[in-house]
């Protein structure tokens, strides 16, 4: 009776989302994803007004770029009505532009760029002459730091907190990207305060700096299909983000890619939800056939409720990506051409080295989970919570990293070499169910995101019984859905409407999630 009573009390505490700290991680993922703005004040135009033609022949590149140019940086929805539109040049999207189709089954954007470029590009940039050394306060968990100078930094600016830690990275192409992206909420003297805490120690011996970025913001792509027909060996993506914040893609089908369907590079607070991504032109090594890639310091993105099919890696985390959520997605039919390995043994979710850290993977249903050392070690605090792995299971290479969390996952594959659970290093393992046999430990929470999410995979739930929305939607003809996974909506602000940078902007106090787990470190 006492145990039942205590369990009930703990459940109520979690439901109310009262403050508490997990016993195995202190990462807070509650602020991930975009704050999708209200669009009532946005202008609405149509690509047809600028010469667009859905005749499956006319190049609509100029028409769409002219429509974008006409927005003059102001909030604008560009409607692309039903039909098949051809594009032969990259679409470059600046801030405050929303591309909106009539549905992924109705509005088709067909691209042929001869394999030479990304199809849709959303790119901001660094402000190279605005940076300052950090002189104190850059420890894990800190929400403020002291810098040598705050000149040209203002409240509301996005900055990267960066260090030189090449000893943790295996690839020279990752050396300049060891950072976390944050937003300044307060400046007092030479102290800068930001909303999300640091997820690692940025040690003074690693010469940490703050550097201002000028990101593209408030870009949305909704309710359309992208079809690529130009195969290439080049690493070109269907949608490419670089130095972007507060953007979203929802209700989009993306068919066939070279490198990746969606790449998030040095990008933060962006939501990718309700999409269907599938197929590639090549499944060999060297960067081919990926779904959604997070890399180069990408922080606090929310990859939610997507369907991925027939890809080498559906969700790939690498190169210091941190604080991202990969949740409630469904991936199936993985495929690669990798020597003697079975073609269906490719990892749907892969940690690929160069120190991705403190990412949450929750409620996904996939075939294979791989943590490898292809590009060196992976960082700490990556957390795998209540996922189902249906085929080969979880495989972790030696020397792939330590201090990760594997909590209440299900491994259900059966047959020769199926249903593996093979970890290395020093990891936290609690209540994982391997082919019907559960490890020790108890887990109360259904989600580590917040009370709005609810994975019923893993103990004490019935083994191999629950399915997520993406899994269920895959049975339907239309596999996409526009989902509002936004934080509280705010008006879309015109470029000219600048807030007083000297004001300390109010922030809502985030309530931390409750986590009461019986934990045990297990050394492999």
Give the tens place of pLDDT for each residue, 384-424.
999 999 999 999 999 999 999 999 999 999 999 999 999 99
DSSP 8-state code for residue 344: T
367 and 229 co-located in one domain: no
Mean pLDDT for the stretch of residues 235-243: 97
Question: What pLDDT, on the 0 to 100 scale, is given for residue 198?
Answer: 97
Q: Report in angstroms the alpha-carbon separations of 358 from 163, 178, 197, 324, 446.
A: 17, 14, 12, 8, 19
173 and 321 co-located in one domain: no
Residue 265 lies in a domain: yes
Mean pLDDT for the stretch of residues 457-469: 97
What is the C-alpha separation between 438 and 386, in angstroms, rounded? 13
> 416: which residues sit within 8 A by CB, 6+ positions away?
none
> Do the beta carbons of residue 287 and residue 518 sit within 8 Å?
no
pLDDT at 263 over 80: yes
> Do the beta carbons of residue 134 and residue 210 sit within 8 Å?
yes
Average pLDDT, the chain: 89
Residue 482 lies in a domain: yes
> Do the beta carbons of residue 300 and residue 272 sit within 8 Å?
no
pLDDT at 261 over 90: yes
411 and 298 co-located in one domain: yes
113 and 56 co-located in one domain: yes
Cis bond before residue 68 (omega within 30° of 0): no
101 and 168 co-located in one domain: no
Q: What is the CATH classification number for the domain harbouring 181?
A: 2.40.10
DSSP 8-state code for residue 165: -
234 and 316 co-located in one domain: no
107 and 144 co-located in one domain: no
Residue 25 lies in a domain: no
pLDDT digits (tens, 9 = 90+) for 161-205: 999 999 999 999 999 999 999 999 999 999 999 999 999 999 999
Mean pLDDT for the stretch of residues 246-269: 98
**How far does Cα 445 stand from its chain's mean position?**
22
Between strands 325-327 and 302-304, the pairing is: parallel
Question: What pLDDT, on the 0 to 100 scale, is given for residue 487?
Answer: 56
The domain of 482 spans: 259-486+513-524
The total number of structural domains that make up the chain: 3
pLDDT at 498 over 50: no
342 and 385 co-located in one domain: yes
277 and 415 co-located in one domain: yes
84 and 155 co-located in one domain: no
pLDDT digits (tens, 9 = 90+) for 151-162: 999 999 999 999
pLDDT at 489 over 50: no
Question: What pLDDT, on the 0 to 100 scale, is given for residue 202?
Answer: 98
Final residue belonging to a domain, choices 159, 186, 214: 214
What is the C-alpha separation between 230 and 110, in angstroms, rounded? 10
Question: What pLDDT, on the 0 to 100 scale, is given for residue 403?
Answer: 96
pLDDT digits (tens, 9 = 90+) for 328-356: 999 999 999 988 899 999 999 999 999 99
Of 144, 145, 148, 142, the residue nearest 130 (C-alpha): 148
Final residue belonging to a domain, choices 161, 188, 214: 214
Final residue belonging to a domain, choices 192, 214, 236: 214
Question: What pLDDT, on the 0 to 100 scale, is given for residue 24?
Answer: 61
């Amino acid at each position: 009776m006492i145990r039942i009573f205590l369990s009930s009390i703990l459940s109520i505490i979690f439901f109310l989302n009262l403050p508490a700290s997990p016993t195995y991680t202190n990462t807070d993922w509650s602020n991930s994803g975009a704050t999708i703005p209200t669009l009532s004040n946005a202008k609405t135009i149509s690509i047809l007004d600028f010469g667009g033609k859905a005749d499956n022949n006319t190049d609509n590149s100029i028409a769409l770029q002219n429509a974008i140019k006409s927005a003059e940086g102001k909030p604008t929805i560009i409607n692309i009505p039903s039909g098949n539109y051809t594009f032969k040049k990259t679409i470059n999207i600046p801030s405050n532009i929303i591309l909106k189709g009539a549905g992924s089954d109705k509005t088709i954007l067909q691209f042929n760029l001869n394999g030479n470029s990304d199809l849709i590009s959303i790119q901001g940039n660094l402000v190279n002459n605005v940076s300052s050394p950090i002189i104190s306060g850059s420890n894990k968990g800190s929400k403020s730091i002291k810098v040598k100078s705050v000149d040209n930094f203002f409240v509301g600016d996005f900055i990267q907190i960066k260090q030189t830690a090449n000893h943790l990275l295996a690839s020279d192409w990752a050396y300049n990207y060891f950072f976390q992206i944050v937003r300044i909420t307060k400046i007092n003297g030479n102290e800068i305060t930001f909303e999300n805490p640091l997820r690692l120690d940025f040690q003074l011996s690693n010469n940490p700096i703050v550097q201002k970025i000028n990101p593209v913001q408030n870009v949305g792509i909704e309710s359309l299909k992208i079809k690529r027909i130009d195969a290439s060996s080049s690493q070109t993506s269907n949608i490419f983000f670089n130095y972007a914040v507060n953007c979203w893609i929802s209700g989009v089908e993306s068919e066939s890619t070279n490198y990746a369907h969606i790449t998030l590079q040095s990008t933060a607070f962006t939501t990718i939800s309700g999409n269907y991504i599938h197929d590639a032109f090549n499944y060999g090594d060297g960067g081919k056939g990926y779904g959604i890639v997070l890399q180069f310091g990408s922080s606090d993105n929310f990859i939610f409720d997507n369907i991925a099919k027939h890809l080498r890696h559906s969700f790939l985390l690498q190169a210091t990506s941190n604080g991202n959520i990969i949740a409630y997605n469904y991936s199936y039919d993985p495929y690669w051409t990798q020597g003697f390995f079975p073609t269906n043994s490719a990892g749907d979710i892969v940690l690929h080295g160069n120190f991705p850290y403190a990412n949450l993977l929750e409620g996904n249903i996939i075939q294979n989970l791989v943590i490898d050392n292809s590009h060196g070690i992976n960082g700490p605090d990556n957390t795998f919570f209540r996922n189902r792995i249906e085929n080969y299971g979880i495989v972790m290479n030696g020397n792939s990293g330590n201090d990760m969390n594997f909590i209440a996952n299900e491994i259900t594959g059966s047959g020769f070499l199926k249903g593996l659970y093979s970890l290395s290093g020093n990891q936290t393992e609690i209540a994982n169910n391997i082919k019907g046999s559960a490890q020790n430990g108890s887990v109360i929470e259904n989600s580590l995101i917040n009370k709005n999410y609810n994975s019923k995979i893993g103990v004490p739930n019935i083994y191999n019984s629950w399915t997520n929305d993406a899994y269920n939607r895959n049975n339907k003809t239309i596999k996409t859905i526009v989902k509002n996974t936004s934080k509280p909506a705010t008006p879309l602000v015109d470029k000219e409407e600048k807030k007083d940078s000297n004001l300390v902007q109010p922030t809502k106090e985030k309530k931390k999630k409750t986590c009461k787990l019986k934990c045990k470190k297990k050394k492999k």
